[in-house]
Amino acid sequence: MGLNGTSQLAYMTHMDKITPNLSGPLVVALVYDGLCTFEFSIAAEIFGLARPEMGESWYRFASAAIDPGPMRAQGRLRVETDGGTDLIEQADLIIVPGWKSAATPVPDTLTDILRAAHARGARLASICSGAFVLAATGLLDGKRIATHWRYAETLALMHPACEVDSQVLYVEEARILTSAGSAAGIDLMLHIIRTDFGTEAANSVARRLVMPPHRNGGQAQFIERPVPATHQGRLSDLLERVRAEPSADWSVNRLAAEAAMSPRTLLRRFAETTGLAPGEWVTSVRVEEAKRLLETTRLPVEHVAEKAGFGTIATLRHHFHNQLGLAPREYRERFASRARHGLLLLA
């Protein structure tokens, strides 16, 4: 149910106090007793931090209680919120920042509210164990869903109609976005910004977070398989050089020489570090560079292919279709206007 006229006016007045001078999408993070503090902080940092450089159309942020007070978060913090489920009913994006535990049932009242929100067009997103909440709505039956690799088996057993993917950092399915471990929630939130406001806006937020705007690979690179520090340092420097010059000839032999390793050692260390083979990782970097150029420049597509390292339009088109399901020109048509909007905000 939506709000009536009087309630709507009260709501708008309330939101003006929470997010003054902003008119962008309303992001509402759920708050519950036993709140996962880090996961909630990710949402608050990304969407709730003041970013005047982004302009008036930037996100508005609010927190909504789904449990009666008083509530505590991990770390024994006492929690207060901006409102209750009435805020969820008005949200454009609803974030579930973790969940109490896999064994804690999701209230029917909450799943009803989330289903209604999705039906009216809102996006739903979860960080880490928050996937249990979104799975409980039934909206992801027959679709892919991501969560932390430690929870994947339990989630699959509890919700066999969902296709649990324990390899990826995040998944988007039908306006429902789920992410893996806690830090992957940052990757997902940056993906949302990139979708809404373009690459430059996402890069700007990532710079303030002092992290890369896009991490390649999957959860395999984080599963209790440490890489010796000497190799981490060499590979980290090498990966940065590839990102800085994606159009160079990054063959396995050259990568190995740059990292001062044998090709066999490089292949092993690369998989341990990134979760991908060298060629796959370089291709993903080039796709990201091509996306950036398509969004933020008016270069002809053949020049984009050259600068991103693909050489020909045919090769660029092949990899775009494999990774994005779109042709380069289709991608530009769909996202360039959003990117220009983001550039105006950052100007």
Joined together, the tokens standing for residue 157 give 């057993």
* For residues 261-274, average pLDDT: 86
Joined together, the tokens standing for residue 89 give 């009913």
- Structural domain ending residue among the three candidates 160, 182, 204: 182
Position 154 scores a pLDDT of 95
Residue 208 located in a structural domain: no
Domain enclosing residue 264, as ranges: 220-346
**Residues 169 and 294 placed together within one structural domain of the fold:** no
**Residues 177 and 270 placed together within one structural domain of the fold:** no
**Residues 23 and 122 placed together within one structural domain of the fold:** yes
**Residues 117 and 244 placed together within one structural domain of the fold:** no
Q: How many domains does the chain have?
A: 2
Position 157 scores a pLDDT of 95
**Residues 143 and 249 placed together within one structural domain of the fold:** no
| CATH number of the domain residue 270 falls in | 1.10.10.60
Residue 196 located in a structural domain: no
- Structural domain ending residue among the three candidates 182, 197, 228: 182
Q: Give the pLDDT confidence of 170-187 residue by residue, as tens digits.
A: 899 989 999 988 888 998
- What is the rounded CA–CA span in Å between residue 47 and residue 22? 12
39 Cβ contact list (under 8 Å, min separation 6):
97, 98, 127, 128, 130, 182, 185
**Residues 75 and 152 placed together within one structural domain of the fold:** yes
**Residues 173 and 247 placed together within one structural domain of the fold:** no
Per DSSP, the residues of 72-114 read EETTTEEE--SBSHHHHTT-SEEEEE--S-TTSPPPHHHHHHH
* For residues 286-302, average pLDDT: 90
**Residues 224 and 178 placed together within one structural domain of the fold:** no
Tokens 């789904």 correspond to: 66
**Residues 236 and 335 placed together within one structural domain of the fold:** yes
**Residues 237 and 167 placed together within one structural domain of the fold:** no
Q: Give the pLDDT confidence of 183-234 residue by residue, as tens digits.
A: 889 989 998 998 898 888 888 898 888 776 666 555 543 333 333 444 455 7
Model's pTM, two decimal places? 0.68
Q: Give the pLDDT confidence of 248-257 residue by residue, as tens digits.
A: 999 999 999 9
Helix (H, G, I), strand (E, B) or coil at 17: helix
Residue 190 located in a structural domain: no
Residue 194 located in a structural domain: no
Beta-sheet pairing, 60-65 with 163-165: unpaired
- Structural domain ending residue among the three candidates 133, 162, 182: 182
Backbone region of residue 13 per phi and psi (left: phi > 0; alpha: psi in -120 to 50; beta: other values): alpha
* Cis, peptide link before residue 300, omega less than 30° from 0: no
**Residues 295 and 241 placed together within one structural domain of the fold:** yes
| CATH number of the domain residue 113 falls in | 3.40.50.880
